[in-house]
């Protein structure tokens, strides 16, 4: 666990001007919470205005409710004039991730993320690169940044951060650190609980239930692994939701969900094995065809549907997943053995 380097963060910021803040495509509550809080910190502590860019559509019901109820506004990505801004800061993602494309023409001044990634951000000349997979949520990291500067979050910011932490750690039940627990307890007292409840229980469309029915039909069991490799889905967020849903099936240990949306095959891997690490398994499954990130019991990635067809990608994902879980390839088997050894040591 690393603590934020406050001097380095301060030095990365311009003396004046405006900034752009962004996260990964199709932002989730952790990304949204981190953005809202960082925007607040920049204004309160440094007198810097910052505007958000939210790339991709937000379609998961909880995420839509969070954006609407907290009044989270953003510029369209194509509406950013580089001459009006001094730089960009990325939260809950990294420049090397294919689902993250910060506005062009601007220097990247900072990265704050809790996912493992394929590259070392600090080696890429980014002035402030804080990546720590020991945190359960990026919202906790931004909370600690506020805390380091002595900035008290107002009710809106506290609500945004609390939602980010609770959804990414499943209310501290998944990959939560001591820092996540501390921030969660503090923010729970400061947040607007009526808004938290409204975000947690939004109205659901008929399409939502139709898609969940299709996921049941698509589900295949292979020992400890559930494969839910669907065709077209309504949103990338639904793939993660399906993986979360099926990992709760009694007797299973891993769920791998996939679905095509916006020209990419989205893949999410979840496990309920204590001490397990989903990232290396998904890294092998995705291969060189796509990219992924993750930490602890959850990982997500995507493969572009450009050179390969939907059926080819589904076949590739299925074949590699079965290899990883012991039905062939030696490299895949070694990943499983490493994960099991890690779990046995906890």
**Separation of CA 75 from chain center:** 21
Task: Find the farthest-apart pair of alpha carbons in the chain and give their distance in angstroms, rounded.
Answer: 58
> Where are the domain boundaries for CATH 3.90.1640.10 in the chain?
6-200
Q: What are the tokens at 300? A: 């997500």
Is the domain 209-345 a CATH 3.40.50.720 member?
no
- CA separation (Å) from 235 to 9, 38, 121, 258, 270? 35, 27, 29, 11, 18
Query: Which of residues 197 and 99 earns the better pLDDT score?
Result: 197
In the chain, what percentage of residues exceed pLDDT 70?
A: 92
Q: Position of tokens 């088997």? A: 333
Q: What whole-number distance in Å separates Cα of residue 38 and Cα of residue 210?
A: 37
**Both ends of the chain: CA-CA distance in Å?**
18
What mean pLDDT is predicted for residues 89-100?
86
In the chain, what percentage of residues exceed pLDDT 90?
A: 68
pLDDT of residue 252: 80
The radius of gyration of the chain from alpha carbons, rounded to an integer in Å, stands at 20
pLDDT digit string (tens) for 123-152?
A: 678 999 999 999 999 999 999 999 999 999
> Where are the domain boundaries for CATH 3.10.310.40 in the chain?
209-345
Is the domain 6-200 a CATH 3.10.180.10 member?
no
Residue 346 has pLDDT above 70, yes or no: no
Burial of 306 per CB tally in 10 Å (0-12, 13-18, 19+):
exposed
Q: Are 53 and 185 in contact (CB under 8 A)?
A: no
Looking at the chain, how many residues does it have?
Answer: 346
**Residue 103 DSSP SS3:** coil
Q: What whole-number distance in Å separates Cα of residue 311 and Cα of residue 96?
A: 27
pLDDT digit string (tens) for 168-185?
A: 998 998 889 999 999 999
pLDDT digit string (tens) for 35-56?
A: 999 999 999 999 999 999 998 7
C-alpha dihedral, 162 to 166 to 167 to 172, nearest 10°: 160
pLDDT of residue 122: 64
């Amino acid at each position: 666990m690393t603590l934020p380097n406050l001097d380095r963060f301060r030095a990365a910021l311009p003396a004046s001007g405006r900034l752009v803040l962004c996260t990964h495509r199709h932002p989730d509550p952790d990304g949204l919470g981190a953005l809202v809080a960082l925007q607040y910190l920049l204004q309160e502590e440094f007198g810097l205005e910052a505007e958000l860019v939210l790339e991709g559509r937000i379609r998961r019901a909880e995420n839509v409710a969070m954006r609407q109820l907290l009044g989270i506004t953003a510029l369209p990505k194509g509406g950013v004039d580089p001459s009006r801004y001094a730089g960009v800061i990325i939260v809950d993602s990294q420049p090397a991730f294919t689902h993250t494309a910060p506005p062009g023409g601007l220097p990247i001044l900072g990265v704050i993320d809790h996912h493992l990634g394929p590259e070392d951000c600090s080696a890429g000349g980014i002035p402030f690169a804080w990546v720590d997979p020991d945190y359960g949520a990026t919202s906790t990291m931004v909370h600690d940044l506020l805390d380091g500067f002595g900035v008290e979050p107002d009710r809106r910011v506290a609500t945004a951060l609390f939602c980010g932490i609770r959804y990414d750690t499943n209310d501290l039940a998944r990959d939560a650190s001591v820092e996540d627990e501390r921030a969660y307890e503090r923010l729970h007292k400061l947040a607007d609980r009526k808004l938290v409840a409204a975000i947690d229980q939004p109205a659901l469309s008929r399409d939502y239930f139709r898609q969940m029915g299709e996921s049941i039909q698509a589900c295949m069991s292979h020992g400890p692994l559930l494969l839910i490799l669907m065709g077209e889905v309504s949103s990338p967020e639904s793939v993660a939701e399906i993986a979360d849903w099926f990992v709760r099936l009694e007797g299973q240990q891993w769920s791998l969900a996939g679905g095509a949306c916006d020209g990419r095959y989205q893949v999410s891997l979840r496990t309920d094995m204590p001490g397990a690490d989903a990232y290396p398994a998904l890294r092998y499954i995705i291969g060189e065809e796509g990219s992924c990130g993750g930490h602890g019991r959850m990982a997500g990635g995507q493969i572009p549907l450009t050179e390969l067809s939907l059926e080819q990608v589904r076949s590739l994902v299925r074949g590699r997943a079965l290899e990883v879980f012991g039905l062939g390839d030696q490299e895949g088997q070694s990943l499983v053995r490493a994960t099991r050894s890690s779990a046995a040591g906890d």
